[in-house]
Structure 1
Amino acid sequence: MKAVGNTVEEILSHIPSARIEAFNKLHQTIVDNLPEGFKPAISYGGLGYVVPHEIYPAGYHCKPIEPLPFAGLASQKNSINFYHMGIYSDPDLLDWFVTEYPKHSKQKLDMGKSCIRFKKLEDIPYDLIGALMRKMSAQQWIDLYESKLKK
């Protein structure tokens, strides 16, 4: 399901009513815990949390006009999906998250490489997502991103 809107505010205003409370709470949790250097923005047509060009002028290598993506949030057909490139790129961060998840949610972790799907909105582990967002600074993400590009 493609996001509807050209600004963060427009996307947030088009979330289905059954999900709006959980989606907005998750978005606010992410924003409240974003380290300095990241900002909410439109990223590849959706709601993203990025390193803006003023901090990382090179942008994303696949499409330099786009700011460097770090995380994202989307309302899909059957779930709210949260994307985090740090857990995709850093095995230690992934291990930490997978270990911590059962302490924060009764639901089995439903996860792809960087995507965490929340099908039961009442079991979204907001505190864990907040902690995850605080685990990596913008400079750490840039350094990790660049180290992966050089391989």
Structure 2
Amino acid sequence: MQSTAFSPQEYLDTLPEDRKQALSALREVLLDNLPAGFSEEMSYGMIGYVVPHSLYPAGYHCDPKLPLPFLSIASQKNFIAVYHMGLYANPELLAWFTDEYPKHSKTKLDMGKSCIRFKKPNQIPLALLGELAAKMTPQQWIELYEAVLKK
């Protein structure tokens, strides 16, 4: 469900109350924990956290006019999603996350390559996602992105 909202707050304002509360709490945790340098904006119809052109002028290789995406959150039809590109690109980070997840949640991890799905808005492990958000700086993400892109 791609949103046409122009701002993260407008995006949140369009959601049902349970989703709005969950995504607002998730957004707050991410803003509190993401290292300096990431920017929050609407990205691909979701709330996105990106490396701005001021830090990475080359932009996203798929469309260089766009800043380099890193993490996004969204209310999808049947779940709340967290898309973390670092999990897709860094096997060590993925291993850490999958090992830590059961310590923070009673639910089974529902995950794709970079997408973590939460079917129950009140069962999002906010502390774990805050830790995950803090694990990579924009510069580390740029270096990893470029290394993976060159392969």
**TM (normalized to structure 1)?**
0.97
Which residue does the alignment assign to 1:12?
12
CA deviations 1:30-57 (Å, max 9, x no partner) are 1111101111112123210000111111
Aligned position for 1:141: 141
Alignment deviations for residues 90-129 of structure 1 (CA, whole Å, 9 cap, x no partner): 0000000000000000000000000000001221100000
Distance in 2 between residues matched to 1:63 and 1:9, nearest whole Å: 25
Classify the secondary structure of the residue corresponding to 1:18. helix
Amino acid at match of 1:116: I
Does 1:132 pair with 2:123? no
The code of the aligned residue for 2:133 comes to: M
Q: Which residue in the other structure is 1:84 paired with?
A: 84
Q: Is contact 1:4-1:14 (8 Å) kept? A: no
Aligned residues: 151
Q: Kindly report which structure 2 residues correspond to 1:36-75, keeping only aligned pairs within 5 A, or say none.
A: 36-75=36-75
Structure 2 partner of 1:109: 109
Give unpaired runs (5+ residues) of structure 1: none
Distance in 1 (alpha carbons) for counterparts of 2:18 and 2:122:
12
Question: For residues 46 and 70 of structure 1, what CA distance do their matches in structure 2 show?
Answer: 12
* Partner SS, residue 139 of structure 1: helix
Moved over 4 A (4+): none
TM-score normalised to structure 2 length = 0.97
**Runs of 5+ in structure 2 lacking a partner?**
none
Alpha-carbon displacement from aligned partner over 1:44-91 (angstroms, at most 9, x marks no partner)? 232100001111111100001111000000100111000000010000
Q: CA RMSD in A?
A: 0.9
- Is 1:2 matched with 2:17? no
